[in-house]
Amino acid sequence: MGLAWGESNAGMLPLGFVAYLLTFCCYGTHLRGDEKGSVDRAREGRGGPIEPSAALVNYGKRTMTHAGASLNFGESLLVLSAIRETCAFRRWTLLAAHVRSTHVHLVVDGIIEASWAIRDFKAYATRALNGNAVRRRWARGGNARLLRDFGAVRAAVRYVVGRQGAPMAAYVAPDL
């Protein structure tokens, strides 16, 4: 994909560089209005953070259609393995990953459509955890942030691996 990670290109990106910081959550663990923070994406043009609201969190809990989900250490290792398998199959480059008990952070290069990538990561992870049984593990959607230069990629990798608390299942590409 152009330059190797250690090579310099005077801060410019090689043509076709498409790295993303992706985040997706376990079902029921990050409700709108939570004190940890949430963002309004439902209303066109409004966007931005939502103020903490116990009423909004309670509404989210009442409207959940399944039990909340979280991952133990063994499950987080299965999810990490599924993420690596997804990248190998799709020919994406996994730069960093951290599977936590309530959410997943990834830095991935080579993705064309971030929402499809999140869908694929969730599908592979669900199969690894459940086989073909149907159980809701993941919240709808996810977050994708385009990383526009090598500095942003490095910062995202540091955030994913080093700023998430005690490590669970984590991976960093060898050449970073």
d(CA 38, CA 111): 25
Residue identified by tokens 């990953």 is 97
Q: Considering only 8-22, 69-83, 122-136, which range has the smallest mean pLDDT?
A: 8-22
- 160 φ, ψ to 5°? -65, -45
pLDDT at residue 104, rounded to an integer: 96
d(CA 88, CA 143): 22
Three-state DSSP at 93 gives: strand
What is the number of other CB atoms lying within 10 angstroms of the CB of residue 101? Answer: 15
**How does residue 99 score in pLDDT terms, banded at 50, 70 and 90?**
very high
Alpha-helical regions (H) of 29-176: 54-62, 73-90, 114-130, 150-162
d(CA 18, CA 99): 22
Q: What percent of the chain has pLDDT over 90?
A: 47
**Domains of the chain, earliest start first:** 19-30+69-172 (3.30.70.1290)
114, pLDDT greater than 90: yes
Residue identified by tokens 């090579």 is 7
Mean pLDDT of the chain: 80
Contact of 127 with 78, CB cutoff 8 Å: no
**How does residue 46 score in pLDDT terms, banded at 50, 70 and 90?**
low
pTM over 0.95: no
72/33: higher pLDDT: 72
Residue identified by tokens 């500095």 is 151
